[in-house]
Amino acid sequence: MTLTLTGCGAGSGDGDVTLKLIAADYGDSEANSSRHYWDNLAHEFEKKNPGIKVDVDVYSWTEVDKKVEDLVKAGKAPDMAQVGAYADYAARHQLYSTDKLLSIPTEADFTPGISDAGEYNRVQYGMPFGASTRRLFYNKKLFAKAGITSPPKTWDDIAHDAQLLKEHGVKMPFALPLGPEETQAETLLWMLGGGGGYTDTIGKYTIDSPQNIRTFQWLQKNLVAKGLTGEAPADVNRADAFQGFADGDVGMLNGHPTLMKQAEAKGVDYGTTELPGIDGKAKTTMGVADWMMAFKQPGHRSEVGKFLDFVYTTKNVLKFSSTYGLLPVTSSASQAMMSDDKYSKLHGFLEQLPHAQFYPADKTSWPLVSKTLKAKMGAAVGPRGNPSAVLTDIQNTADAADNTVG
């Protein structure tokens, strides 16, 4: 469904400039659609800037990227788009860099680790908008029944605790969602726990590194083969795993902040902890950010900059983040959240954000690599899977895509 907002503040009908923004919907119903957030924000901005009108179209996540792509191809790029990726447009020189848009205080306020993830060829084009990190969730009631007194700190602890949960009748001791929905996320979490990742420090793909191969061989042997994941990972999507946790059928899983609300709605007594790694706590966790970008084509650089300075005020960032269970992308809003006890359950996630590892979203090859991961990683850890061969196959796809785009 498309939700179109026409700014309704002072000056709406007679503004000198109309800015067009395409945005993604973070709500799961009409009642909490992002449309309401943007409606209020556009109204406030227009009252303070009567010469500028803001029109926002809000689309579901399944539609929004394609909508922006189609508009750009048709020569009708919006002034701004708030979506999942920016690198393709940056590579084609279609975006303003952030230093051409934002005031110095606004630009300097982005959380450093996320800000770096918005760079293409060391120039920032992607402005983070909404972020999350991952932690291990565990069901305290199921742990107590199985005699487990503390959350796992290592992979061996996970395997040991999952076995105890299985023996006490838990359907899915450890949910491992490697189905096609968000495989690239679960894959990266385990890579990080094993000392690997998607790329090295200079951005070269390292998908078939020895560390990554060892990681998925461990999963295949110690969790999947022993029946500790319940269903086959290739058949489990993130949404299934989250629902299973909320229903009390999952003992442990990797999750992001929105799972808290889902679990609390069903009365699940849960805890979260830092990700376990192969020989201790994982050195880092995964971070995810969505992106705001501004297109050159409409030519409203000054007006867009004014609007984005307003979007990224502490008040507005905190309001959006708290409404949708996300982490703030600015230092000022993060400090406000950390100092407020009503957000205490988010503090552990927020503390991890500056050092989190993000997808290589600055690489134009990443969408293809992500799609390939979704198609192949689930089967890699199955009974007849070959983690080494699958990771090498994906590495070859990644290298070929990198060479094609230069």
Q: Do domains 3-132+288-358 and 135-284+365-405 have the same CATH topology?
A: yes
pLDDT of residue 405: 58
DSSP 3-state of 129: strand
Rounded to 10°, the helix 34-48/301-311 angle is 120
37 token code pair: 């957030």
Q: Is 190 helix (H, G, I), strand (E, B) or coil?
A: helix
Q: What are the domain boundaries of the chain? A: 3-132+288-358, 135-284+365-405
Instruction: Fill in the amino acid letter for 137.
Output: F
Other beta carbons within 10 angstroms of residue 158's beta carbon come to: 24
Q: Give me the pLDDT at residue 9, please.
A: 34
- Which secondary structure element, helix H or strand E, spans residue 301, and what is its range? helix 301-311
pLDDT of residue 32: 87
- Select from 2.160.10.10, 3.40.50.2300, 3.40.190.10, 3.40.50.1820 the CATH code of 3-132+288-358: 3.40.190.10
* Encoded tokens for 326: 């996300």
Instruction: Give the pLDDT confidence score for residue 406 in this predicted structure.
Output: 47
Topology given in CATH for the domain delimited by 135-284+365-405: D-Maltodextrin-Binding Protein; domain 2 (3.40.190)
Low-confidence ranges of the chain (pLDDT < 50): 1-2, 4-15, 406
For the chain, counts of helices (H) and of strands (E): 17, 13
Nearest in space to 130 (alpha carbons), one of 301, 240, 292: 292
Q: Which long-range contacts (CB under 8 A, 24 or more apart) does 301-304 make?
A: 301/96, 301/100, 301/101, 303/17, 303/19, 303/52, 303/79, 304/19, 304/79, 304/80, 304/96, 304/101
Backbone angles phi, psi at 172, to 5 degrees: -135, 85
